[in-house]
Structure 1
Amino acid sequence: PSKRFQWKVLPQRMKNSPAICQWFVALALSPVREKFLNCYCYHYMDDILLAAADKEQLNELEMEAKKQLQTFGLIIAPEKVQRQHPWKYLGLQITQHTVAPQPIQLAVDVKTLTDVQKLVGSINWIRPYLGLTNTQLAPLFELLKHSTNPQEPRHLTDAATQALQQVELALHSKFVSRIDPTQEVQLFVLIDHLAPFGLLVQWCDQWPDPLHILEWLFLPFKSLIKARKRCIECTGAEPARIVVPVQSYYFEWCLANKYQLQAAFAGFNGQVSYHFPSHPLLKFFREVPVGQKLLRSPVPLDGLTVFTDGSGKTGKAAVVWRSSCGWQQQVASQTGSPQVVELRAVTLAFQMFHDQPLNVVTDSAYVANLLQQLDHTVLYCQPFTLVFQVLLELWRTLLQRTVPYFVLHVRSHTSLPGFFVEGNARADALVSAAALGPVPNTHQQAVLSHQFFHQGAEALRRQFGLTHSVARSIVSSCPDCHHSHTPVYFGTNPRGLKALEIWQTDVTHIAEFGNLKYVHVSVDTFSHVVVATAHTGEKSRDVVKHFQRAFATFGVPSQVKTDNGPSYVSKAVRAFFALWGVTHVTGIPHSSTGQAIVERMHGTLKQLLQKQ
């Protein structure tokens, strides 16, 4: 039979799955790749790039690719084949020596937020090929912030206009070179205004321009590791040389004492250099100092100690400290998750005491770990998320500090004596739910919850602690649930919400079994697993034997429901259930309505036996 494919979400305006298209073309080209191991055969969707060492081999590769594609029903239009440079592939214009983006038209007529997104999206696409940094494009990025309305008016500021002029100048003056297989690939680590970035380059003194840039790598963290991986992806080998703009003494000291740097250089067999070759483009970066002074202290400071805490339930962020006048406090409001409120409390502490050494004590391991790295981290921009806005405010506060600080994590709700526990307890008391007013009416909460979620009566009863009658009345009075939902369930046959929660047990008679005609049946009301055992009677000892086999097979349930038969309410059965910790309930006397599930199972069991 034919292979079937199914997808649930497709990109806008697409009639077919792009993943299936990519997979199908790859399947068609796989014999070509296996036959021509020394040639290049790249493809993305319906764009295919073929490259070989000589023209004769390239023609043979082209013929074989067309043949295999035709086998799968894929035809290449002759007018789409490009044999002479410049070649255009995936938005790139490839010449014999360079790779540059195709000329694009920037949407400079900016009127709305959507226009800004189109403009910045086009620039961001060509940025790696033009060497534009985040600092240069920051005025354009600012126009994307502080709004969620696509039609909100936007206008280019003077700074954004200057950034756009830099982009237009770079479009005409900068490019990325094609790789020369005869030359080694090197990695240059450079320092931008905010964070280090890298260059994959080739250097040859015999070239008119000895520096050929293969790719710009803007990596906010793990720069060396990601740059090495990128070099392997592009060239199939590690860089032959890595240039790090630091003095050899400091590099060797860091390599011996920092496991992060040891991990970044793990397995590297190439050369490490500390000096850039002479080139105008690299001259500026050699003069930029490496790193920044870290204000975070590894040891406690001789200064003020503050305790911070926050609660997402109450939306309170508190700062507590002890002065000469006694304990002082400051409370602020912040919506969001507990982590967001905790960040707001720490930000408040740094803002209040920005000009003095500070010891910050927090019971949030998330905040403590974050503060260990935030002062030397470049944030990934997510402007429309609440956590990013709070985190950005804290990050800016730390960058503006000129005095050191120390961070300590303590465990909350402990009975240990001492200054730290007392201060943390005071901060915790300020943000706890006990400080709030009385709890709103539970019945009204249940009504509002059902109007939004339309949950059933049993779910309302469990969530808000209501009685069965009150929960059923809320569901019955809902105009939406009155017609669309099944009748309210009154609980004569309660079902378990998980396996081994509620069993129903009864006895049925099957005359064909002779002396073993008394068949004891137990059914799990959640999973409908059935245990049936044949016995010579239906006395208490037979009931106990049945449950012993059932427990050994499927486990011990939390509750067993039976009828009011003498064997089920006997002392021996009650003692057996008490030994195993099982709750035993009975239905309505002389009525089978409370045993409907197991009664139906009797009929199913007999039908199966008749088919044997």
Structure 2
Amino acid sequence: PIKWLTDTPVRVEQWPLRREKLHALEQLVDEQLAKGHIAPSNSPWNSPIFIIKKPGKDRWRLLHDLRAINQVMEEMGPLQPALPSPAMLPKGWPIAVIDIKDCFFSIPLNPVDAPRFAFSLPSTKREAPMRRYHWLVLPQGMKNSPVICQWYVSEVPSLVRKAFLKAKILRYMDDVLICAPEKTYLDLTLTEVINAIERAGMEVHPEKIQRTAPWRYLGTRIAETTISPQLLGIQDHPSTLWELHQLCGSINWVRPLLGLTTTELAPLFQLLRGGQALDSPITITPEAEEAINKVLLALTSKRAHRVNPNLPFRFSTLGEVPRYHGLIFQWDEGARDPLLIIEWVFLPHTPSKTISRPQDLVAELITRARHRLRTLTGCDFTYIHFPWKQDKFEEVFQESENLQLALENYTGQIGNQKLKHQLFNSDFHLAPNFVQSKTPIKNALTVFTDGSGSSHKSWDEEVRVVEGSPQIAELAAVVRVFERFEERPVNLVTDSAYVAGVVSRAEHSLLREVPYRKLFGLLARLVELLSHRKHPFYVMHVRSHSGLPGF
């Protein structure tokens, strides 16, 4: 039974309906009554009903406004928070797809809960008392109906899986996919799944069973060896923020199959910023329009692959520093095209930190990829391709705690092997060497910065007036140092721990935009200067106002 937050009846009165809609509503209610989905009721609970026409059809659909009821029931957690991945279907295996008919209406409500889902059918001109009914089956619009449906339907194929161990059975809500090594085994499994569904009191659309390629399942188009998204109704000229949100949601859903990088889509994502109302008008920039065109092209030209069960999984970091993304793939050495793309992995559009170092970004990608592969297959990668040479990787690994955590318990190989494929030729790049030194540089210029205005008299000074906090002043001074001494090795000594930390992390880093424009401008300039610097630098923090001898 459903857990309720109150036993006090919730009653929302039925609103008036036009004659045309009321007539159609009476017919729909009579249909549900004849099917045994509703029963006459004297419940004190009530929620309004209404009807809408199905898109593209001349038929009405009955809807029950259960918002008030949803507020007084305890929400059940999702049992299947993500869609099953068709990429895990072995390539070449035959498939059948089943659609369970009216899944919600096949699942009975607990008799204790049923009277709380009552509604009233008004009569024309109030000629007669309203007829009152309540649902006997899962009502659409009840927030726990999807979870109950998942639990109920999941029980159906469980026994079949035990009897047909070679078959793979994917299920999400009322869509069931069966995949088997050969057709005879598939037919036997399919027959038993259909029998199990019917024994549970549900029906299957015989005319909707898909037996031949391409199979359509959960928004994807599955061929013998490849997978692609079904062609989406991409709104290529969104005019409101709501339409843009819909567009970006659709794009995010297909990205793992198509490899659309965060950098490519950034002009679109940037338009989502701000706290405007959803009906606010927006203007699509030329850059955003170019991003939409890339999506449209990818939908028709890019594919992922079905897995080869005899090959291990690999992961590669792709892209140029610091705009990294990743690829989960298999490598079939004997095939004409050896690259089997399983799924792309991306970092969030907005980084979690103001300054993210390349090694931390790679660590986050690896963490995401290993978690995703364990979710899909229960196994780990046998090879991870890094964008560093072996000696540089050892150095980066030793000083990056995030990278150490990302590779915890990893037993596979690590390297920078560049596989012979067009994708890796264009998208796999070794990271440039860092010029930051871990120790003071001999015979280098030593520069002291002080944003407090109390510099030692013996220092060579360049004084600039900077508005803002002492950290802003110190950061401005450091930026000026790297601008002025671009062609010389530099030892930088600063009395700001904040600035020393920023400088030590800035080289080749990804910068998150911050609201304070002056700070963001200084950070962006510092990252640019250090990422393009040819000569080494060393940064050191000292407490220059401690009164101790020395500097």
How does the TM-score come out when normalised to structure 1? 0.53
Q: For the Cα contact (< 8 Å) 2:506–2:527, is it kept in 1? A: no
Q: Aligned partners of 1:374 and 1:9: how far apart in 2?
A: 45
Q: Is the 8 A contact 1:322 1:328 kept in 2?
A: no
- The code of the aligned residue for 1:62 comes to L
1:69 pairs with 2:211: no
1:350–1:397 CA contact under 8 A, matched in 2: no
SS of alignment partner, residue 393 of structure 2: helix
CA 1:177–1:351 in structure 2 vs 1: closer, same or farther (change >3 Å)?
Answer: same
Question: Is the contact between residue 189 and residue 244 of structure 1 (CA under 8 Å) also seen in structure 2?
Answer: yes
Name the structure 2 match of 1:355.
Answer: 480
Correspondence 1:521-600 to 2 at 5 A: none
- Residue in 2 that maps onto 1:103: 231
Give the match for residue 476 of structure 1: none
The range that moved more, 208-217 or 389-398, is 389-398
Deviation for aligned residue 1:182: 2.5
Residue number in structure 1 paired with 2:87: none
Q: 8 Å contact 2:466–2:476 — kept in the other structure?
A: no
Cα deviation 1:80-138 (Å, max 9, x = unaligned): 32221111111111110100000112112232222322222222222222212111122
- The percent of aligned pairs where both chains have the same amino acid is 28
2:457 matches 1:304? no
Task: Normalising by structure 2, report the TM-score.
Answer: 0.58
Structure 2: give runs of 5+ residues left out of the alignment.
5-72, 79-139, 348-360, 482-491
| CA contact 2:328–2:342 (8 Å) conserved in 1 | yes
Mark the structure with the bigger radius of gyration: 1
What residue identity is the alignment partner of 1:15? M
Match of 1:7 among 53, 60, 74: 74
Contact 1:361 1:407 in 2 (8 A): no
C-alpha distance in 1 between matches for 2:437 and 2:398: 22
Change (3 A) 1:241 1:324: closer
Matching of residues 311-330 of structure 1 within 5 Å: 320-323=452-455
Do residues 222 (structure 1) and 367 (structure 2) align? no
How far off is 1:264 after superposition? 3.7
Contact 2:314–2:330 (CA under 8 A) maintained in structure 1: yes
Whether contact under 8 Å (1:294, 1:376) holds in the other structure is: no
Residue of 234, 239, 244 corresponding to 1:116: 244
Give the equivalent residue in structure 1 for 2:545.
Answer: 419
Q: CA deviation at 1:421?
A: 9.5
The question of 1:158 aligning with 2:286 is answered yes
**CA distance 1:215–1:360, shift in 2 (3 Å):** farther
Partners of 2:241 and 2:495 lie apart in 1 by 40
- String of CA shifts for 1:263-295, please: whole Å, max 9, x gaps: 444443333342212212211234x34056476
* Matching residue of 2:57: none
Cα distance, 1:349–1:170 mapped onto 2, change above 3 Å: same
What CA distance in whole angstroms lies between the structure 2 residues aligned with 1:292 and 1:420?
Answer: 36
Q: Name the residue aligned to 1:248.
A: 390
Is 1:186 matched with 2:318? no
Q: Aligned pair 1:168/2:296, yes or no?
A: yes
Residue in 1 that maps onto 2:147: 19
Return the alpha-carbon distance in structure 1 between the equivalents of residues 232 and 378 of structure 2: 31
The amino acid that maps onto 1:209 is: D
Give the corresponding residue for 1:598: none
How far the C-alpha of 1:46 sits from its partner, in A, is: 2.1
In structure 2, C-alpha distance between the alignment counterparts of 1:149 and 1:295, rounded to whole Å: 46
Higher helix share: 1
Q: Distance in 1 between matches of 2:538 and 2:393?
A: 27
Contact 1:41 1:49 in 2 (8 A): yes
Relative distance call for 1:400 and 1:347 in structure 2 (3 A) is farther
Residues 493 and 541, structure 2, Cα contact 8 Å, conserved in 1: no
Match for 1:115: what amino acid? E
Aligned to 1:290: 431
Contact 1:321 1:328 in 2 (8 A): no
The question of whether the paired residues in 2 share the 8 Å contact of 1:131 and 1:216 is answered with yes
Q: Which residue of 1 aligns with 2:331?
A: 203
Residues 1:396 and 2:524 are matched in the alignment: yes
Aligned to 1:281: 423
SS in 2 for 1:355: helix
Q: CA shift at 1:345, angstroms? A: 6.3
1:390 Cα deviation from its structure 2 partner? 9.4
Structure-1 separation of matches of 2:305 and 2:512 = 29
2:377 paired residue number? 235
Instruction: Report what 1:452 is aligned to.
Output: none
Structure having greater relative contact order (Cα 8 Å, sep ≥ 6)? 2
RMSD: 4.1
Amino acid at match of 1:361: S
Q: Secondary structure at the match of 2:296?
A: helix
Partner Cα separation in structure 2 for residue 400 and residue 36 of structure 1: 59
**Contact 2:500–2:539 at 8 Å: present in 1 too?**
no
How many residues end up aligned between the 2 structures? 381
- Alpha-carbon deviations, 1:10-58, whole Å to 9, x = none? 99x9334233332332244433344444332222222222222223332
- 2:26 aligns with none
Hey, what's the Cα distance between the residues in 1 that align with 2:149 and 2:501? 44
CA 1:102–1:108: 2 relative to 1, 3 Å: same
* Rounded Cα–Cα distance in structure 1 between residues aligned with 2:435 and 2:189: 57
The structure-2 alpha-carbon separation of the partners of 1:305 and 1:30, relative to structure 1 and needing over 3 Å to count, comes to: farther
Task: For residue 139 of structure 1, report the CA deviation from its aligned partner.
Answer: 1.8
After superposition, the C-alpha distances for 1:394-441 in whole angstroms (9 at most, x for unaligned) are 75354244496858699xxxxxxx82599xxxxxxxxxxxxxxxxxxx
